[in-house]
Amino acid sequence: MKFSFQLATSALLLGWLQVANAAAIPMTQTTLADVQSQKGAVIDTRPSAFYNGWPQGVDGASGHEPQAVNLSAGWLSEMNDQQLQQWATQHQITSDRKVALYGTAAQTSAVQERLAKLGYANITLLSDALAQPKRLQRMPHFEQLVYPQWIYDLQQGKAVAAKPAGEWKVIEAAWGAPKKYLISHIPNAGYIDTNDVESEPLWNKVSDDKLKALMAKQGIKHDTTVILYGRDVYAAARVAQILLYAGVKDVRLLDGGWQTWSAAGLPVERGLPKEAKPAPDFGAAIPGQPQIMLNEEQARGLLNRKDASLVSIRSWPEFTGETSGYSYIKPKGEIAGARWGHAGSDSTHMEDFHNPDGTMRSADDIAAMWKEWHITPDQHVSFYCGTGWRASETFMYARAMGWPSVSVYDGGWYEWSANPKNPVATGERGPDSSWK
């Protein structure tokens, strides 16, 4: 499985120039209490990392204002007017509502300018934004999704929030030989081929013995913090989820993957990965978290329950049986009784979970999307897709969101459809089709 997703650097640069050079349109100021009393909307115009909870500065305010939605000024170059209007409609922001913005002067000016073009005239600045730390909200485990500057500062030995407790490694993950890695990668990053963690015929995870050998080769112990990134986020997520299964305690993802590092203009290097110092003793039994990786029988046990959800992270055409989604998977359809967790336009896209810059959509947006299909955090929730990549990405998001009981059905549709005795569903259907 292989797919590359990159945004044009020139477009990103134009977006940041737009933010920096946005016309300064005078705005009145208001307080959060005033906005709430008028049932207005609050928009955080900062990058999603800070909205999620990363402090701007080691001891800075952490999180976002109550009920605020995130519209980063950095996304504007990736959104045409129709897409911006769709975003506003989705978040119930109408032209007659009062809208309060906060962020830097450049960020708020850029967002105001674009919204004004669409007819939003009642726009103000939130004068008391981030002034009361106790009222700020954050994603429960925001630290599990890191951002480029955080990695760079960590590498430079600077003080960072949520610093790893001990040794740490940055590793790129991708399918096959490190072709793109050779041309450009994060300095001092290692490399893991996804073929080292999953194998044919069904692309399930490799044996525990092979995982143990991989840990030793990569110099990873159970208490090593592993920071993964990929040209495709879900490739890194697949490796991340399997490392967590093995027992690595602290595994993090670069939110948005390689494209966010590239867009940030941070240093890169080229060439082969350096030889890692072997770690002959993982320091703990493998697997350390067997409960986060389900087999076929365990997945079957979650179907048609109110306290559990087996969740398909596949495109709608895959879910309804219009296509299998893969050249090497012939059967079409879906696991009967599974709930649709969204994904993207096809088997190589995850737009439903991404902001315009490829980072994770807000936790509130994702939770609302899942709730429509009766997928809630009080359940045992297991994600699957065709062979595990997309499911692993949503697993990592749900974990960062603080959902307590999440897992991946490793075999997914590939394994399920190979057994003719397994029940299969096709055709259009709604959330109540799996609700008994």
Point out the residues that are catalytic. Answer: 385
Per the CB < 8 A criterion, the answer to whether 142 and 400 are in contact is yes
Per the CB < 8 A criterion, the answer to whether 67 and 129 are in contact is no
First to last CA, the chain: 35
Per the CB < 8 A criterion, the answer to whether 375 and 311 are in contact is yes
| Side-chain-side CA neighbours of residue 234 (13 Å) | 28
**Which residue type sits at 278?**
P
- Alpha carbons 194 and 173: distance in angstroms, whole number: 7
- Alpha carbons 177 and 180: distance in angstroms, whole number: 9
Q: How far is CA 315 from CA 85, 202, 350, in A?
A: 24, 20, 9
Q: What string of H, E and C letters represents the secondary structure of the chain?
A: CCCCCCCCHHHHHHHHHHHHCCCCCCCEEECHHHHHHCCCEEEECCCHHHHHCCCCCCCCCCCECCCCEECCHHHHHHCCHHHHHHHHHHCCCCCCCCEEEECCHHHHHHHHHHHHHCCCCCEEEECCCCCCHHHCECCCCHHHEECHHHHHHHHCCCCCCCCCCCCEEEEEEECCCCHHHHHCECCCCEEEEHHHCEECCCCEECCHHHHHHHHHHHCCCCCCEEEEECCCHHHHHHHHHHHHHHCCCCEEEECCCHHHHHHHCCCCECCCCCCCCCCCCCCCCCCCCHHHEECHHHHHCCCCCCCEEEEECCCHHHHCCCCCCCCCCCCCCEECCCEECCCCCCCCCCHHHECCCCCECCHHHHHHHHHCCCCCCCCEEEEECCCCHHHHHHHHHHHHCCCCCEEEECCHHHHHHCCCCCCEECCCCCHHHHCC
Name residue 383's beta-bridge partners: 311, 408
